[in-house]
Structure 1
Amino acid sequence: MPRPRWPGRPRSTTGGALARLPLAAAARGAAALALPLLVGLGTGAVVPSVIAAIGALWGVSQDGSDPYRVRVRRLAWTGVSSALGLLAGGLALRGGNAVTVTGCLMAAALVAGTLGLRGRIASVSGMHLLLGVTVGAGIPVPGPWWQPPLALLTGVALVLVLSAAPWLWRRHHAERAAVLAVYRTAGEALGAAGTDDAEAARRRMTLALNHAHEVMAAHLAPRAGRRQQAEVRELVRAFHCAVRLGEAVTALVWEARPLPPAVTGLPLHLAERLLPGRASAPAPAVAAEQVAPAPGADSPGRRALADLYASVDAGPDPADPALRLPAHWWPGRAARLRYATLLAGCVLVAHLLAEALHGPRGYWLPMTVAFVYKPDFGPLFTRALHRCAGTVVGVAAIGAVFLLTPGAYAVIGVVAAFGALMAVGVRHHYALATLGLTAVVFVLLDLLGDDRPLYGTRIVDTALASALVLVAHFLVWPDSAAHRAEAQTEAAVAAARRYRDLAPRTGPAQRQSLRRTAYHQLAEARRAVAQARGEPVRPGRSLPDWEDAITAAERMCDEVTGQAVAGAADEGR
């Protein structure tokens, strides 16, 4: 599942709750799940249409609001890996040998575990390879061997087309929204200057800038400038201006003086000038003398802000650096091997337990293990609890719906509704996504002819699989999240110290690069620490105060930024 919004991920601050709902994604989820079933109902090809709907279900779980090139790549790998898994599992099941089925599941789990901690797309691909094998080896499907993988791939492709279609008329919407979020949060940080909320507001601006940096990274590479369209050049220029704005705002927050409305409204006015008509709210015209400090006032931050405002119409600055994202921290080989072994062991035990409890078609247990055991997707303990809660509510909801909705078209409408709910859940809450997925899977299995009484069984199986994962992980690898938090905190503090030591002796471009790296790694460390806090701790052991070290490093970076801006202002006099 796509990673949920963790505390600190930038959020929109405009438009209320309804505006924050991903209505377009919900519509895509409903359409992607309903269309294959409608085609199957009209043509009589029920089985291929249901398999295509399963592919669409997995595609909806990986749909996102990130740049189109990223979501296309993720959905393409989701389709290919799940189709290959379904093919391998189906062929193993057709062979009729239980040992072959078990070996296929184990091999898929080892591959999924090996890929799981190597990056976002690799992790998603490995998980869906395992899911494909689990379903293929657990549900006998009539027809030629090649038909189920092709139908599954068609369902994922449908989601890909629906998700990427807006590229035709709003090509760089995600990049534009991310850059504008920096200007909005910069205005909020200026409004909070001199108050108790100033540090938290600066942190929100930094997170928005980190997110914009990630989204814009492909356009910031040195070679990208040669072939950029006018719209992309406009966005790159606005991003570089946002980086300079972030430095000036950080200096003003560090100065800890309340600011007049003419200053706090300047970021939105800058956004209107750099990206005309695209800011979230109109900003009044601001004169440079309104931004500059009063005569005799010692405010380097306001002078830097005034200089930025005065220079924004001068065109791109050739000194703008090709800002690179800092290298992402990944677990080492030993951690990857341990995770792959644990995942394979959990899948094996779940498969044997399912065979003992249910006989054939006992795929729910190993499938739940594949969904739950994703330590790179957030706190494992919370994920397991949300999986159980979502399954319980999903089973209750679909049971009530089945009593009230007779008729094939009504059932398809139910699938569309729960598909839309799942699309909302994958962006906001894992339990909500699980609720939608559980309800849809029940309908699809009913259409495949599995009319066993499974309501209570699915709840018990989900609880068993979740307990199996938690027991195995916290017995064998209880400190994984703590080790990750410690390593990322040490790397972030080292980056902050490097910024402190080198910033006074470097030019503006190198200083921006050092500052971006330090703040970016500090934010990632804070997120890793929050994940470690969400996991159980062994009795008698307490986690270090990593937050204090991160906060101290952030304040040191704020001070270095303020001093650097003051030094640049003195040189410009």
Structure 2
Amino acid sequence: MKAARGLAFTPVPLAAAARGAVALALPILAGVWTGAVIPAVIAGIGALWGVSQDGSDPYRMRVRRLACMGLAAALGLLAGELALRSTRAGAVTVCLVVAALLAGSVSLRGRVASVSGMHLLLGVTIGSGIPVPGPWWQPPLALLAGVGLVVVLSATPWLWRRYHIERAAVRAVYRAASEALSAAGRPGAEAARRRLTAALDHAHQVMGRHLDRQVGRRVRPQSRLSTLLDAFHLAVRLGEVTSALVWEGRPLPRSVTEVPLMMAARLLPGTGVAPAAAGRGTAAAHPVAPHTGADSPGLGALTALYARIGRAPDGEPAPRLPDQPWQGRAAHLRYAVLLAACVLVAQLCAELLHGPRGYWLPMTVAFVYKPDFGPVLRRALHRCAGTVVGVAAIGAVVLLTTDTYALIGVVAAFGALMAVGVRHHYGLATTALTAIVFVMVDLLGDHRALYAARILDTALAAVIVLAAHFAFWPSSAAGRAAAQTETALAAAHRYRDLAPEAAPAQRHALRRTAYHRLAEARRAAAHAHGEPSRPGRTLPDWEAAITAGERLCDAVSARNLAVAGAPSMRPVPGCGGSDAVGE
């Protein structure tokens, strides 16, 4: 799930909410109708985890993530079930600890690995904590069926919306460029340029597989994909021009700020982009020509870029964005050991408090201790708050009705809420997940009143995680922020030093890498500041160094355009041989 960042005023993902409702209610409804309630509930658990990892990224990426998650969860469920059926003393505990070590060792290696590792541990937790009658192979297959249902619901639109997600991501770059140009010369200019970088990063990630295909020369000319790739490459160039204009710091007229929208309307027709200048005759044909001049290389470059629309592409494939490792092997090992220790302590507490069905404690540890998903403290607090609200919500529902079909309707409603929560707020997703799990556990035959116990278990698991994390790894977020800031500044300096002699393709690659690294470093710094620090310790001002790096890159972009458009112009200040970033 995404780390909580506060409720944003963004459109509600209605399609995802509908998928969440159907994916969670359909298996349970089928189980009630056929009498196979237990396999249906296990399938519902698979669907629950699938909904938590459903996304709005390209279909191939989400199918890959859901498939890896489902296989890891099914393997974990099988291992936990076999440990429980062995009836050997300590088998469940040993299985949980081994699973935690495996999950921790892979979870910091990327999004897919992180999701798979977490659900491997969750599968072991559920398999070893909830006894399921029947053949040993039935629960893993049922779980995979639930995940498969989410895959089908999520990926079916690919049949008639094949490049819709990619088009939307590229279109967002042009919209962000227009907003950045509108903010030029105003206080919010740098923030708008950062939003442009974020849009470019997202489009670059979404287009990654297609860029690889282009390198392999397997894209048909004049096809929809070819047009989309041309629009993306022009968007990369537009990012450089926009950065230069923002650096120039002069307010721009509307005839200039609407140019990116006009470019999108021509490159990606039918996308709904309708700038006001689109119907102004000759003004639209050469939208920035009256404003160009030797004193503004950015405007001249924007005019030239607009004139490139419709020409044959240069054949400059963009490389994949570089990944940022999580501080090396030592961090992976430390996280694996700490996660395993937290799971062990949680399991021992569960056995003392609840006996054989104390899966809630280790399950909560698996959800909460995800430092790669955001600040651990914030995630723990949101987990506790969401559990309290979810328990209160399902308790209120049970007071009103215990009818099976009514409860299935409640599961559908909370499934829709969860699909919204995983995109907007972790606490909201936890609220929905808690209520759904209570209904599923009741359908499995566990009718104990555990409302207060689950709240206390969640709080205890959060305390275990926080105590272990801040006692033995308090500097994890700060160390990552420092490492990423250093890497980002090095990329900015490399862009400054190599761009003057680089070919256009290499220059764009250097610039994209630098801005991408700087954006990652800014997120890591925000993560570090979201964690409590020890008394008397002041964190470095990473944001100031990152901002200086961004301004350096903006100045380099302006210099590149000035040199390309007017070689006799004086160098842009701040881009000479001296270091523009104070170190």
Instruction: Please report the TM-score for the alignment, with normalisation by the length of structure 1.
Output: 0.95
CA shift at 1:5, angstroms? 5.9
Residue of 289, 309, 313 corresponding to 1:312: 309
Q: Does 1:389 align with 2:381?
A: no
CA shift at 1:297, angstroms? 5.7
Tell me if structure 2 keeps the 8 A contact 1:32–1:56.
Answer: yes
Residue of 48, 72, 79 corresponding to 1:88: 79
Q: Deviations over 1:441-487 (max 9, x none)?
A: 00000111111110000000000000100000100010011000000
CA shift at 1:508, angstroms? 1.9
Report SS of the residue matched to 2:90.
helix
- Take 2:531 and 2:249, find their aligned partners in 1: how far apart are those partners? 37
Tell me if structure 2 keeps the 8 A contact 1:324–1:513.
Answer: no
Tell me if structure 2 keeps the 8 A contact 1:222–1:322.
Answer: no
Greater Cα shift, 253-262 or 524-533 = 253-262
Residue of 59, 67, 81 corresponding to 1:68: 59
Q: Does 1:235 align with 2:228?
A: yes
- Take 1:69 and 1:571, find their aligned partners in 2: how far apart are those partners? 45
Change (3 A) 1:223 1:192: closer
Report SS of the residue matched to 1:314.
coil
What one-letter code is carried by the residue in structure 1 that aligns with 2:61? V
- Take 2:11 and 2:488, find their aligned partners in 1: how far apart are those partners? 32
What one-letter code is carried by the residue in structure 2 that aligns with 1:314? R
- Take 1:216 and 1:571, find their aligned partners in 2: how far apart are those partners? 34
Within 5 Å, give how 1:116-135 maps onto structure 2.
116-135=107-126
Residue of 167, 185, 189 corresponding to 2:158: 167
Greater Cα shift, 109-118 or 215-224 = 215-224
Uncovered stretches (5+) of structure 1, i.e. residues with no partner: 12-16
Q: Does 1:459 align with 2:455?
A: yes
User: Which residue is 1:46 aligned to?
Assistant: 37
What one-letter code is carried by the residue in structure 1 that aligns with 2:113? A
- Take 2:286 and 2:455, find their aligned partners in 1: how far apart are those partners? 66
- Take 2:525 and 2:167, find their aligned partners in 1: how far apart are those partners? 30
Change (3 A) 1:383 1:294: closer
Residue of 526, 530, 533 corresponding to 2:529: 533
User: Which residue is 2:48 aligned to?
Assistant: 57
Q: Does 1:448 align with 2:444?
A: yes
Greater Cα shift, 362-371 or 185-194 = 185-194
- Take 2:163 and 2:557, find their aligned partners in 1: how far apart are those partners? 31
User: Which residue is 1:261 aligned to?
Assistant: 254
Report SS of the residue matched to 2:217.
helix
User: Which residue is 1:31 aligned to?
Assistant: 22
- Take 1:478 and 1:98, find their aligned partners in 2: how far apart are those partners? 35
Tell me if structure 2 keeps the 8 A contact 1:271–1:279.
Answer: no
User: Which residue is 1:14 aligned to?
Assistant: none
Uncovered stretches (5+) of structure 2, i.e. residues with no partner: 570-583
Q: Deviations over 1:367-412 (max 9, x none)?
A: 0000000001111110000000000000000000111233111110
CA shift at 1:221, angstroms? 2.2
Residue of 146, 167, 179 corresponding to 1:155: 146
- Take 2:39 and 2:371, find their aligned partners in 1: how far apart are those partners? 33
Report SS of the residue matched to 1:284.
helix
User: Which residue is 1:418 aligned to?
Assistant: 414
Q: Does 1:276 align with 2:272?
A: no
Change (3 A) 1:327 1:39: closer
Within 5 Å, give how 1:286-305 maps onto structure 2.
286-294=283-291, 298-305=295-302
Tell me if structure 2 keeps the 8 A contact 1:268–1:283.
Answer: no
Change (3 A) 1:268 1:283: farther
What one-letter code is carried by the residue in structure 2 that aligns with 1:463? A
Tell me if structure 2 keeps the 8 A contact 1:288–1:310.
Answer: no
Q: Deviations over 1:58-115 (max 9, x none)?
A: 0100100001111000100111111111111111111111311111111111100111
Question: Percent identity between the aligned chains?
Answer: 69
- Take 2:568 and 2:25, find their aligned partners in 1: how far apart are those partners? 63
CA shift at 1:572, angstroms? 11
- Take 1:280 and 1:529, find their aligned partners in 2: how far apart are those partners? 35
Q: Deviations over 1:128-183 (max 9, x none)?
A: 11101101101111111111111111101100110001110101222111111100
Residue of 178, 189, 192 corresponding to 2:183: 192
Q: Does 1:358 align with 2:354?
A: yes
Q: Does 1:470 align with 2:466?
A: yes
User: Which residue is 1:517 aligned to?
Assistant: 513
Q: Does 1:429 align with 2:422?
A: no
- Take 1:231 and 1:4, find their aligned partners in 2: how far apart are those partners? 36
Greater Cα shift, 141-150 or 416-425 = 141-150
- Take 1:172 and 1:36, find their aligned partners in 2: how far apart are those partners? 30
Change (3 A) 1:255 1:313: same
Tell me if structure 1 keeps the 8 A contact 2:292–2:300.
Answer: no
Change (3 A) 1:327 1:101: closer
What one-letter code is carried by the residue in structure 1 that aligns with 2:485? T
Q: Does 1:348 align with 2:344?
A: yes
Change (3 A) 1:69 1:440: same
Change (3 A) 1:570 1:91: same
Greater Cα shift, 279-288 or 398-407 = 279-288
Residue of 488, 493, 500 corresponding to 1:492: 488
Tell me if structure 2 keeps the 8 A contact 1:321–1:510.
Answer: no
User: Which residue is 1:251 aligned to?
Assistant: 244
Report SS of the residue matched to 1:497.
helix
What one-letter code is carried by the residue in structure 1 that aligns with 2:457? D
Tell me if structure 1 keeps the 8 A contact 2:258–2:275.
Answer: no
What one-letter code is carried by the residue in structure 1 that aligns with 2:68? W
Residue of 371, 376, 400 corresponding to 1:404: 400
Tell me if structure 2 keeps the 8 A contact 1:194–1:256.
Answer: yes
Tell me if structure 1 keeps the 8 A contact 2:106–2:113.
Answer: yes
- Take 1:225 and 1:271, find their aligned partners in 2: how far apart are those partners? 26
* Residues matched between the structures, number: 563
- Take 1:87 and 1:390, find their aligned partners in 2: how far apart are those partners? 29
User: Which residue is 1:137 aligned to?
Assistant: 128
CA shift at 1:350, angstroms? 0.3
- Take 1:492 and 1:279, find their aligned partners in 2: how far apart are those partners? 36
User: Which residue is 2:363 aligned to?
Assistant: 367
Change (3 A) 1:46 1:220: same
Q: Does 1:547 align with 2:547?
A: no
Tell me if structure 2 keeps the 8 A contact 1:268–1:279.
Answer: no
Residue of 497, 500, 505 corresponding to 2:501: 505
Change (3 A) 1:495 1:141: same
Tell me if structure 2 keeps the 8 A contact 1:293–1:299.
Answer: no
Report SS of the residue matched to 2:287.
helix
Instruction: Please report the TM-score for the alignment, with normalisation by the length of structure 2.
Output: 0.94
CA shift at 1:293, angstroms? 4.5
